[in-house]
Structure 1
């Protein structure tokens, strides 16, 4: 009975969606130039995205998020006040017409913000999305925990992955300004969506 050493048997991993293919090793003498991570547009017009790195100061992030939340609240409040003033100016309208106008306004603001509530309050005050990849995920978690402890904030977390593009430049190609070979590597990402109650 012939026995083989474990080191002689190559590891066979099926190539399917559950087992991603590992990138080949970078050749000796080659350098890697990393491109910026691609950004997405906000999902709604009322959301603001803040990208952070591991070196971004914690206090700076929390101040930016709070400033944006306050700005969103002021904008939503002024829009709500404008509607209230318009409704009050129409003194000749019957009570039934005023109620229908309020219901129309409520349904339009709920559609615009993605909410299903039917109030004329500040439900569309907007959200701030804090996004980090790789080592910055820890900082996103810290920011989310900070705002989760605030009484006026609601925090939702969403995980994902982002394809980051690197250029592998062979030795000698740098002189000619060559772009090199593109390699896509997947990075984990975390989004913290913060909005006011």
Structure 2
């Protein structure tokens, strides 16, 4: 079993908690309060900009051409996600300018950027992979039941193209990562931060 597959399997407990989260379930069946989803979209856009910066830091620290180009491809993938958020903002009148990040958002972005700036590239991949793999998993698991105003969100992450990007990052993790307590801790920390991010989205932002 590859390192990325081991890490995903070992964090199945947090994946189950995310899938049971009321926010995630509400997206799947369309019952989620629209205002809560709008707040989530704004927070997620803030997060994704930091995610892109983390990719850029990793790209700059790449030591071979293949790794550099792979990070460039992954960075381009963030543009697609931000496009989805921009379309929601335009359609629903969500103010994306001057978003005040929630505590859970800041905790996640600060962790990613600090890791990307100072950690080994394998650890950086371990910190970033959970977001991609978890969203691809949620997209597939919610796809059959997706209904209402959030079906487009579900389809985005259920799309085979998103799965390909998640798998690309996992291959990079397998290439660059050496199994270590630090790498495993980074992966699990990111998984917990994902859960906290969804939980925080259940509380309206002031």
TM-score by length of 1: 0.27
Of the two structures, which has the highest relative contact order with CA contacts closer than 8 Å and spacing of 6 or more? 2
Specify which structure has the higher proportion of helix. Answer: 2
TM normalised by structure 2 equals: 0.26
